[in-house]
């Protein structure tokens, strides 16, 4: 078998830069050890699950080694699309129309793309992903809560003899990850580090509680002008069921945002901004969208908890790419400044560009950001005239008018 061409993988449609790769040493280690375990145990691809595969490096390397029908869960819409693009680029499928592939897994299972159902089958983090699985390969998530939800899901649904191999870069790993895995598995064995990466092998699933630990809910008092607000959160949702401080700063001035026929909460997280705006503007069509499946699922839970399930549309999408151009009157945005474990402002730039595309002429983008990032010039260039409307010791809220 020839060596897999990892260097040909791309991050597209995610942020690409000279210092950002579509694979890392942990991917290679998971593939090497995963293939060895699969061979020793005589596993088929359908018995193998891959979770957290950033851009398809693990899935496609396993497929290239002859394992088909792999079950895959990726949280990010960009990762799901990158997996399809990379499969096409490496001739693992003949379909060259990957730009139009939906991140919706039901569409994928229906056969909208030849790679889906043949070399890999996309799933959400559910029983369909894990039932009968005997080997799970996991790129360790950044949040312990996300790891807890994944570990519980594996223990809950996978086969009794499942082996969970979780890998990460040593500099980002902590002993707390071992402790989280030990809640769901009786045997947790960290391996020796190789190429600055390390694997943790977990076996012998423990009995799980009747009710899964996620999503969690928390009710917050005195949120903007609405009083109490309940947030739901899956493990992978940023800030969990808390209201992060940047969002709270924007919530404090949300009553100054003008009404509009269509309002988009771009990068909605658990949906706090969308929920409060919908509660205070009953006649407005509010759309909450996020590239994280955990965030989108959390936002749906938030809308249900606040009686907004019929009034707020929640989508899992890459920077609102499935929403029509010039379709929004207002965009609300609390952009991230991290890409995985790296500090990188390009993610915010993509969302500024998305807001400019979504807004009608004269529409308004309301953005909150860490004041040290000084986004005003970039917002003016990408969207239109920008002014500061509120400032705290740490955060700035700005309003940009679409040219």
| Residues 92 and 63 sit within 8 Å (Cβ to Cβ) | yes
Q: According to the model, what pLDDT value does residue 132 have?
A: 97
pLDDT tier for residue 336 given thresholds of 50, 70 and 90 = confident
364-379 pLDDT tens trace:
999 999 999 989 999 9
Token digits of residue 337? 């400044």
Q: According to the model, what pLDDT value does residue 2 have?
A: 64
Which string of DSSP letters, residue by residue, matches 152-198? Answer: HHHHHHS-TT-EEEEEEEGGG--HHHHHHHHHHEEEEEEPPPBTTEE
3-state secondary structure of 310: coil
Mean pLDDT of 103-131: 69
pLDDT at 117 over 80: no
Q: According to the model, what pLDDT value does residue 344 have?
A: 52
| Residues 121 and 87 sit within 8 Å (Cβ to Cβ) | no
Positive or negative CA dihedral for 231, 237, 243, 247?
negative
Collect all residues with Cβ–Cβ distance below 8 Å to 68 and sequence separation of at least 6: 45, 46, 118, 119
Q: Residue 369 belongs to what H/E stretch?
A: strand 359-370
User: Who has greater pLDDT, 318 or 224?
Assistant: 318
Mean pLDDT of 60-87: 96
Q: According to the model, what pLDDT value does residue 184 have?
A: 98
Mean pLDDT of 223-238: 93
Lowest mean pLDDT among 62-66, 91-95, 288-292, 299-303: 91-95
pLDDT at 236 over 50: yes
pLDDT tier for residue 4 given thresholds of 50, 70 and 90 = very high
Give the rounded percent of residues in the chain with a pLDDT score beyond 70: 91
Could you give the C-alpha distances from 107 to 73, 110, 111, 113, 122, in angstroms and in order? 15, 5, 7, 9, 10
Q: According to the model, what pLDDT value does residue 338 have?
A: 52
250-264 pLDDT tens trace:
999 999 999 999 999
216-401 maps to which CATH number?
3.40.50.150
Q: According to the model, what pLDDT value does residue 339 have?
A: 52
CATH fold group of domain 6-205? Rossmann fold (3.40.50)
Q: Residue 250 belongs to what H/E stretch?
A: helix 245-251
Q: According to the model, what pLDDT value does residue 92 have?
A: 72
170-198 pLDDT tens trace:
999 999 999 999 999 999 999 999 999 99
Mean pLDDT of 285-299: 98
| Residues 262 and 240 sit within 8 Å (Cβ to Cβ) | no
Mean pLDDT of 319-332: 97
- Rounded distance between C-alpha atoms, residue 160 and residue 35, angstroms: 20
Mean pLDDT of 109-135: 80
pLDDT at 282 over 80: yes
Which string of DSSP letters, residue by residue, matches 323-366? Answer: SPTT-EEEEEE----EETTEE-THHHHHHHHHHHHHEEEEEEEE
135-156 pLDDT tens trace:
999 999 999 999 999 999 999 9
Q: According to the model, what pLDDT value does residue 107 have?
A: 36
| Residues 99 and 123 sit within 8 Å (Cβ to Cβ) | no
pLDDT at 393 over 90: yes
Mean pLDDT across the chain: 92
Lowest mean pLDDT among 70-79, 98-107, 117-126, 229-238: 98-107
Pairing verdict, β 312-316 and 342-343: unpaired
User: What ranges do the domains of the chain cover?
Assistant: 6-205, 216-401
- Rounded distance between C-alpha atoms, residue 130 and residue 153, angstroms: 8
- Count of Cβ atoms closer than 10 Å to residue 204 Cβ: 14
Q: Do domains 6-205 and 216-401 have the same CATH topology?
A: yes
In the block, tokens 């190789």 appear at 194
- Rounded distance between C-alpha atoms, residue 25 and residue 36, angstroms: 17
Mean pLDDT of 309-332: 97
79-114 pLDDT tens trace:
999 999 999 999 775 333 333 333 344 333 333 455
User: Who has greater pLDDT, 93 or 118?
Assistant: 118
Q: According to the model, what pLDDT value does residue 19 have?
A: 85
pLDDT tier for residue 122 given thresholds of 50, 70 and 90 = very high
Q: According to the model, what pLDDT value does residue 346 have?
A: 82
Give the rounded percent of residues in the chain with a pLDDT score beyond 90: 86
């Amino acid at each position: 078998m020839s060596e897999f061409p990892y260097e040909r993988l791309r991050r597209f449609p995610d942020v690409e830069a000279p210092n950002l790769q579509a694979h890392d040493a942990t991917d290679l280690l998971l593939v090497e050890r995963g293939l060895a375990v699969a061979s020793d145990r005589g596993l088929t691809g359908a018995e193998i699950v891959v979770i957290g595969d950033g851009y398809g490096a693990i899935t496609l390397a396993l497929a290239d080694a002859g394992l088909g029908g792999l079950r895959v869960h990726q949280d990010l819409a960009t990762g799901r699309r990158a997996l399809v693009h990379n499969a096409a680029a490496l001739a693992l499928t003949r379909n060259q129309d990957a730009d139009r592939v939906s991140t919706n897994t039901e569409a994928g299972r229906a056969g909208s793309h030849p790679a889906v159902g043949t070399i890999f089958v996309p799933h959400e983090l559910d029983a369909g992903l894990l039932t009968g699985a005997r080997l799970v390969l996991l790129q360790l998530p950044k949040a312990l809560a996300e790891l807890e939800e994944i570990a519980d899901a594996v223990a809950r649904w996978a086969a009794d003899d499942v082996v969970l191999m979780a890998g990460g870069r040593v500099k980002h790993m902590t002993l707390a990850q071992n402790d989280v895995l030990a809640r769901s598995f009786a045997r947790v064995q960290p391996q020796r580090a190789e190429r600055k990466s390390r694997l943790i092998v977990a076996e012998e699933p423990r009995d799980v509680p009747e009710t899964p630990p996620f999503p969690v809910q928390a009710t917050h008092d005195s949120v903007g002008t609405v009083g109490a607000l309940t947030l739901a959160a899956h493990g992978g949702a940023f800030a969990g069921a808390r209201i992060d401080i940047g969002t709270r700063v924007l919530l404090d001035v949300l009553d100054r945002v003008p009404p509009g026929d269509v309002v988009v909460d771009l990068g909605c997280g658990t949906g706090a901004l969308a929920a409060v705006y919908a509660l205070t503007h009953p006649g407005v069509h509010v759309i909450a969208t996020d590239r994280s499946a955990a965030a989108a699922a959390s936002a749906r839970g938030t809308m249900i908890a606040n009686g907004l399930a019929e009034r707020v549309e929640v989508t899992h999408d890459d920077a609102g790419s499935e929403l029509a151009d010039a379709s929004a009157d207002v965009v609300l945005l609390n952009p991230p400044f991290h890409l995985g474990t790296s500090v990188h402002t390009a993610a915010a730039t993509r969302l500024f560009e998305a807001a400019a595309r979504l807004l009608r002429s004269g529409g308004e983008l309301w953005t909150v950001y860490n004041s040290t990032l000084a986004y005003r010039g970039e917002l003016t260039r990408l969207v239109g005239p920008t002014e500061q409307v509120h400032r705290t010791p740490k955060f700035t809220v700005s309003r940009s008018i679409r040219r």
